[in-house]
Amino acid sequence: MDYISLLNESQRRAVLHTDGPAMIIAGAGSGKTRVLTYRIAHLISQGVDPFNILALTFTNKAAKEMRKRVEKVVGAEAKNIWMGTFHSVFSRILRAEADKIGYPKSFTIYDTDDSRTLIRNIVKEMNLDDKLYKPNVVLGRISSAKNKLISVRQYLNDATIQADDEAAMRPKIGKIYEMYQSRCFRAGAMDFDDLLFNTNVLFKDHPDALNKYQNIFKFVMVDEYQDTNYSQYLITRKLAAQNRNIVVVGDDAQSIYAFRGADIQNILNFERDYPELDVFKLEQNYRSTQNIVHAANSVIKHNQAQLRKDVFTDNEQGPLIEVIKANSDNEEGKLVATTIFEEKMNNHFSYDDFAILYRTNAQSRAMEEALRRMNIKYKIIGGLSFYQRKEIKDLIAYLRLTVNPNDEQALRRVINYPKRGIGETTEQKLFVTANEINHSVWEVVMNASEFMGNRVGTAIENFSFMIREFALMAENNDAFEVAKHVAKKSGIVEDLYQDKTVEGLARYENIQELLNGIKEYVDDPEKEDKSLGAFLQDIALITDADTKADDGGEFVTLMTIHSAKGLEFKNVFIVGMEENLFPSQMMLNSRADLEEERRLFYVAITRAEKKLFLTYATSRYQWGNLRACEKSRFIEEIDPKYLNFKYGDTAGGGGVFERVMQRKSNLVSPPPRKQVAANYTPPADFKASDTSKLAAGMKVEHPKFGFGVVAKMDTQGNSTKAIINFDEVGEKTLLLSFAKLRIHT
């Protein structure tokens, strides 16, 4: 196979390089996998023994694909290459050398659930508060220490680390770390972090083992080098120290995993470790249109910490990037769904050609609901469907019990969550007793002391009192007020708030997003019944539809941007392009954090092949309060000549949502009410008035809808709305905190 002829000039030079250290800076869509594959094939064709080649990747899928490609070129010899993920390759080495560090060759590898269970048991044995010392939190702290090669002894003797744990009110984490490592060692087990930690220990404490593998691995290659952490960096540097034939491939502009311990300085400072370094830049993008490539370049140039490159493409210019402004996150979802439908119908795309990318998992709710209402199938990558996530099902179960205490499945789910001392044995006894006396489980729960004894009976009855209090509240309050109360009083919010890990924060945000959805339901003027029962009926229909999304066919793909790395789609929507959402509010405290967010946006842009859509909302619910949103600074950083701005309007008949929904009237009923589109141009001296004293009967002027008379004022909580009858467009409901109105006396 003449693979050299298949390469461009930059790729060819990188493949033909065989001696000394090299760094291949591979821009998005530049064919880095092809270069890695052909470089390995070229080494073998030049007489290098495959057993002397080490190729490290970050996923088994990447390793499998690379080996398959090499095998096509060189045949069965490809099977002899040391190729795989860091964890798979170094677990192989540790099994061979286990006796040197005191482990059996058949050591067990603990997965995350194993580690969590062990930590939970240790916390219990130490009589510590399991609400403070949650397994996720403790495991995250231990994992971070191992990735920085901080041993138990160093952890316990480091005053700064101990002070941090004291400040977090978890002073015993060091002791848990010590017991955890001791128990793992006694059990002949390593967790995933140990595979790297112990490889470093092996090479540091046993120079003979290091020398052995330095002689075996004469050629070291590392893919996605920008994602390596300190532990991985040290291992590869040690292995390459003797022969210095190390080649790393990566793109600093796609370094987005700092929260997992990845250190972008590893690639930025690679030349410091290897002054004789050869650098090859793969700058031709084969994936995206010119407009998308140029837009990505104009964004990433704002980062100070980077390896400069000029990515270009010979592909078609392509359409401008569409920036879509919506009035709310709910409208944003509708606009995305309808745009997908229209693009599919007009341009003969498949739904598989579309991806919706978001910064946080919680954002999927509005997208999922809009897609379902238009009968567009979708799949969630890297996460559960919003309504299938545990924390969402937990709160929904409480709400279901509030409306119907005889709902046995809901009762099973939450009777001991958050924990209230009702174990599985007790739970089973409740159901057995109910069957024996031929009563509902709820009747047994309300009279638990009679059947279960005083101690556990009191805990169960207290649970029943709480549910009955929720039910009383539901009789006189709307769905949002009840749900907000239930989320807090049940203990779910507090339980999730205590978990400060990335996963814990996401679960906490998801509860917030569910409450936002309920608030939107209550605020929807089309919903006459605002009760909790009506909301649950509405949501049940949505979740039922979700269970039918796995019967084959085409699907729109939904995922976080982090999950999208390495993937590509013809059409990409990046939603929630707002300040404090993207970039995230948590990433605005330092330049390093902000630049990581910008790299994340760069990754999102470069997933698109043909069309790219950026959407944002001017208002979004947060814990039930409607808040004004500001367009993301990242949109401003794109050269405007690559952008086409559009504005959503799903409130009136001119909106794209209404047009498409009318076209799909066989799927959605009833069709939206048709109104006259606004066509008013305000005078040059138009200036909004102070609306704090606005009252029914006043005449007002709106910059879009023209003149009208206030029919009614509606105040709910902190939000005040005005229902106005406009001369040209009819009745509109406007939120005063956002509406621009001039009062005419």
Residue 119: Cβ within 10 Å count: 25
Is-catalytic flag, 33?
A: yes
CB 223 within 8 A of CB 62: yes
What's 344's DSSP letter? H
CB 103 within 8 A of CB 202: no
Q: Tokens 């400040």 — which residue?
A: 167
Give, in order, the Cα–Cα distances in Å from 391 to each of 30, 60, 388, 394, 496.
40, 30, 9, 5, 9
Look at residue 330 and give its three-state secondary structure. Answer: helix
Catalytic annotation, pick one of 191, 193, 224, 701: 224
Catalytic annotation, pick one of 191, 223, 595, 658: 223
- Smallest CA-to-CA distance from 219 within 259, 256, 247 is with 247
Greatest pairwise CA separation for the chain in angstroms:
92
Catalytic annotation, pick one of 37, 226, 254, 339: 254
Residue 28 annotated as lining a ligand binding site: yes
Torsion of CA 236, 241, 243, 247, to 10 degrees: 40
Angle (CA) 161 166 167, round 5°: 100
Residue 33 annotated as lining a ligand binding site: yes
Is-catalytic flag, 607?
A: yes
Q: How many Cα atoms are found within 13 Å in the side-chain-facing hemisphere of 690?
A: 2
Q: Are strands 719-726 and 730-735 parallel, antiparallel or unpaired?
A: antiparallel
User: How far is 658 from 664, CA to CA, in rounded Å?
Assistant: 10
Residue 188 annotated as lining a ligand binding site: no
Residue 421 annotated as lining a ligand binding site: no
Please list the residues that pair with 83 across neighbouring strands. Answer: 55
Q: Quick one: CA dihedral 683, 688, 689, 695, positive or negative?
A: positive
Is-catalytic flag, 224?
A: yes
Residue 194: enclosing H or E segment and its boundaries? helix 192-205
Residue 32 annotated as lining a ligand binding site: yes
CB 294 within 8 A of CB 585: no
Look at residue 41 and give its three-state secondary structure. Answer: helix
Is-catalytic flag, 306?
A: no
Catalytic annotation, pick one of 39, 309, 365, 607: 607
Residues 6+ apart with CB under 8 A from 484: 515, 624
Q: Which residues are designated catalytic?
A: 32-33, 223-224, 254, 607
Binding site listing for ATP: 26-33
Binding site listing: 26-33
